Amino acid sequence: MALHRVTSTVVSVFAGRIADTGVDPIPIMQSSPRILRDFPQAELLWASPREILNVFQADEIGTHIITVTRLGSSGSFTVGLVHALLAHRRKLVDAELPARAAIDIEMNRLQDPVGKQDQYVAA
C-alpha cells in the first residue's frame, strides 16, 4: 500500500461495482477501516452505492464519505414529471401508470440501464 501516515488521502472502494460482479462488498468494506487504522490522515470512501441500504451500511462500518448519486433520483424525477404532465391534463391514474411510463422513458427511450424498483417506490 502506497500511503504515507501524514499525507491526507481518500481511499475509494468501489463497493457498488464489486456488488455488480456478484461479490458481497460488505466484508471488504468492513476490513477497510482496520487496514487504514495506521493511517490517521486516510479517509475511506464508499463509491458507487447501488441501494439506499448502502448509506446505512457505510455509516455502520465507519466510512467517512459515500457517493450518493443514482440512488433513485432519476426515477423519482421522471415519475414526478409524468405525474405533473398527467395532472396538467387533468387525468387521474393509479400509481402503476407513472411508474411504467418512467421506466419506459429511462430504459427504452433514453437507453439508461436503470432498474425498475425506484420508479415504483416513487410512484
At 47-105, the pLDDT tens digits run: 888 877 888 899 999 999 988 655 567 788 888 888 888 888 888 888 888 899 988 98
- On whether the pTM is more than 0.75, the answer is no
Spatial distance between the Cα atoms of 77 and 72, rounded to a whole number of angstroms: 8
Give the end-to-end CA distance of the chain in Å, rounded to a whole number.
Answer: 46
For residue 62, which amino acid is it? G
Distance CA 26, CA 106 (A): 29
